[in-house]
Structure 1
């Protein structure tokens, strides 16, 4: 920060908000806050981009709360709305804004799927000035007449690029069509590109545009590495990294892959847990809480954890499956190096993935350090803190998924050396001979059963 950065008081925030900021040790605005708050407080539409972890929640939240202060919502009729793509981000935004809302006497409700719709409907029925919601659950409540949006005068779309995807866009536009036409709209994200043009053109009026970081700014404080790994060694490399002394967030593409890796890590003594959309919301909330307090050291997740998730002092992210989209890469990477801290992002790349991964990195504005690695190598430990896992299963059933022969070096799931392959060129022939003998015996048994 420079000496020219205005204080929160100079930005015109109410004294009640200034006291909460001071209580939380938030003394100097981040650049996106200093840039966007004056326009947010003035009621202007805002289009904001700031690198992940840069304080966007308070950039829109403080202005929204200050402009709502002193007003009272009628049952089922909120006055301000924040739309976010995931349950985790909704809860995180709600938790971040709650102390400021309470200081102003404002009621805040979080509306997400996976938890009791009845309780959320009751909160709206009791009256909530501020609603933080995922589009799907909000749509359900509107359809059931549990929420009416006609009095919403401030609407915020967070992670706007994700909310512009085809899966979200109809619900987002459906919501924005129902809020007050003369109200204030604010769109924020770590990346703003042509994907959000439709929302900007349709719903923002002469917005104040604030882009405090270049598109590649999201990765400025991060060391980026590509590890070229041999396919059969990938799980062993992943396991050694996950066994490090410290937390690590690992990304995979599918729920099945997440569950499989989590079972494997726990079978080898790593305190791992899975996070994906197939888990119930209480499970997801509990898993995140244990990861934040250190009860879990390896969080294995799909892209559900890539957006907006804030974990203090997380210094390592592993792409076990490489991101196939530059925005996904930036958002995954943004889970580390939060609030100006530094971090490391490692992507494991098989030989057939090198060209596509290289293009994704280029499009993301990243020039990674590329290293060939094998499990057990010193370079792996130097960059990630990798170490040999204890091998002691953490669950009663986990032992069954571990390596059978502990006297042999473990080379990763699905890569234990097959004796028929390591016995020279005759190994494959021996395996074929065994398969033929088994088939012949099965046919003979069938003939006997038929009386032949």
Structure 2
């Protein structure tokens, strides 16, 4: 049987081709709508054609598929419980009745639970930790949230979601470590959306607060939350620098369920506008190892003291003894969840280390970018300074003809958003970035990372090369190394050995490396939680 909208899509595709445009395959390929233009009923972008079955404007084949899926679900429900409603382009949400929202039965024996955790490399520590879930519908969350997860392509939970979601749903504070790209964001957003929908508070005060170290990560988390909360009584507020505070204050006063922000801007909001956070019942510290480091720790603690004993959910790819110590000071009876090898690079990333003297790194980079065999766009190039990012991106464009842009903390927020969007949409092949893109920003399309300047810590190195592998897709990290990085040699060699990567001859013969082995520095590092 043919696609119900096939004739309409084909007809409109011809019309669009005549005007120089093709029907878009994916939602993110479509442009934003201009004032007065038709809007896609699913995502709010420009509605390029109409589906015959619903007469609704759709932006792409991807959104058409989602709409037809929702229609199919709605037909299976009683007539008095309509599921599909035309949503506005904003994130203002309408309540959709859940109908019969009984979770699917799931009964795992203790043996099955232990076997599943062993197979998926899930380690737990703490009292009364529930068994992992095998599907989103097997836990007590709104049916509409399950449908939103399916519409966004979450066919089944990732290992970290299997264990963290049911643990968070019972109100347990948790400290979670899992490798980059493992689905940590979804594992705290699902419990938050579910909690906010079930708790009826009027007037609506924020129930959940998510703190992250960078504005880009805040934006990504909030956008994902909007998708999961679509069609539910769930609104969000973004509280970050680079945007007018007046708009953020107004947004919160209108009533929101969840706030996503950076610590500095949130403190400004609390002190200058006399906000109270006594309604917050869930606090998330994303990239917690960074959040408790010098520069963030005092801000985080100031915010925490303004709360009233919330459930605390803490996540990172790297967990140290210091992080565990801080976690124990924030919440009692914490459950510890570890998935995979969190303090080591994603195994899907192939690491290639090249010994390059500093003066020759730029030439070597140009050689890679102009090689048909070695250039695998889209590419992120990590550098150590903001000025270096600007200069190197200009040099790449001039020397190779490849369009490259830089992104760092000194650029205005709007410019950073535009650059990141152009990169994700394939309009730019190379982005030269400082560490602002090294943590948590979901670059699903990145195939290659080039570490032009190795960062000062091995944890940051793990995060940066992890950008080259998202949701199990393999990627390559090319790393330039020389004597200027000698302080990291011992830990770097350990990382390479664990991942099976080749060790450059110059690195293995380094006098500094040999002296470190002889004094037992590597063993000491491993003992203290590296």
Moved more, 28-37 or 258-267: 258-267
Residues 330-365 of structure 1: per-residue CA shift (max 9 Å, x gap)? 110111111111111111123x23633422414545
Answering whether residue 469 of structure 2 is matched by residue 337 of structure 1, we say yes
Q: Structure 1 residues 368 and 205 mapped into 2: Cα distance closer, same or farther (>3 Å)? A: same
Q: Structure 1 residues 362 and 150 mapped into 2: Cα distance closer, same or farther (>3 Å)? A: farther
Q: Structure 1 residues 247 and 272 mapped into 2: Cα distance closer, same or farther (>3 Å)? A: same
2:273 aligned partner: 145
Q: Secondary structure at the match of 1:81?
A: strand
Q: Structure 1 residues 71 and 354 mapped into 2: Cα distance closer, same or farther (>3 Å)? A: closer
Q: Structure 1 residues 194 and 88 mapped into 2: Cα distance closer, same or farther (>3 Å)? A: same
What is the 5 A alignment of 1:219-298? 219-243=346-370, 244=375, 246-268=377-399, 269-298=401-430
Answering whether residue 492 of structure 2 is matched by residue 361 of structure 1, we say yes
Residues 264-292 of structure 1: per-residue CA shift (max 9 Å, x gap)? 11222121111111101111111100110
C-alpha displacement of 1:77: 4.1
1:408 aligned partner: none
Q: Structure 1 residues 327 and 338 mapped into 2: Cα distance closer, same or farther (>3 Å)? A: same
Q: Structure 1 residues 151 and 5 mapped into 2: Cα distance closer, same or farther (>3 Å)? A: closer
* Structure with larger RCO (C-alpha < 8 A, sep 6+): 1
Q: CA–CA distance in 2 between the matches of 1:156 and 1:281?
A: 23
Answering whether residue 241 of structure 2 is matched by residue 113 of structure 1, we say yes
Whether the 8 Å CA contact 1:149–1:179 is kept in 2: the answer is yes
Residues 395-439 of structure 1: per-residue CA shift (max 9 Å, x gap)? xxxxxxxxxxxxxxxxxxxxxxxxxxxxxxxxxxxxxxxxxxxxx
Q: CA–CA distance in 1 between the matches of 2:297 and 2:279?
A: 22
C-alpha displacement of 1:324: 2.3
Residues 237-266 of structure 1: per-residue CA shift (max 9 Å, x gap)? 112333435211011111111111011112
Aligned length: 371
C-alpha displacement of 1:70: 3.7
Provide the TM-score with structure 1 as the length reference. 0.78
Q: CA–CA distance in 1 between the matches of 2:411 and 2:202?
A: 34
Answering whether residue 296 of structure 2 is matched by residue 161 of structure 1, we say no
Q: CA–CA distance in 2 between the matches of 1:144 and 1:248?
A: 41
Q: Structure 1 residues 354 and 201 mapped into 2: Cα distance closer, same or farther (>3 Å)? A: closer
Answering whether residue 459 of structure 2 is matched by residue 327 of structure 1, we say yes
Answering whether residue 49 of structure 2 is matched by residue 49 of structure 1, we say no
Q: Secondary structure at the match of 1:102?
A: coil
2:68 aligned partner: none
Moved more, 202-211 or 141-150: 141-150
Structure 1 gap ranges (5+): 374-452
Structure 2 gap ranges (5+): 1-115, 121-131, 507-530
Provide the TM-score with structure 2 as the length reference. 0.67
C-alpha displacement of 1:104: 2.4
2:339 aligned partner: 212
Q: CA–CA distance in 1 between the matches of 2:298 and 2:343?
A: 29
Q: CA RMSD in A?
A: 2.2
Q: CA–CA distance in 1 between the matches of 2:455 and 2:502?
A: 16
Q: Structure 1 residues 349 and 362 mapped into 2: Cα distance closer, same or farther (>3 Å)? A: closer
2:187 aligned partner: 59
Q: Secondary structure at the match of 1:219?
A: coil
Moved more, 1-10 or 44-53: 1-10
Whether the 8 Å CA contact 1:361–1:367 is kept in 2: the answer is no
Greater Rg by CA: 1
Q: CA–CA distance in 2 between the matches of 1:174 and 1:213?
A: 33
- The structure 2 residue matched to 1:300, chosen from 402, 427, 432, is 432
Q: CA–CA distance in 2 between the matches of 1:363 and 1:304?
A: 26
Q: Structure 1 residues 245 and 194 mapped into 2: Cα distance closer, same or farther (>3 Å)? A: closer
What is the 5 A alignment of 1:405-416? none
Whether the 8 Å CA contact 1:225–1:346 is kept in 2: the answer is yes
C-alpha displacement of 1:202: 1.2
C-alpha displacement of 1:147: 2.9
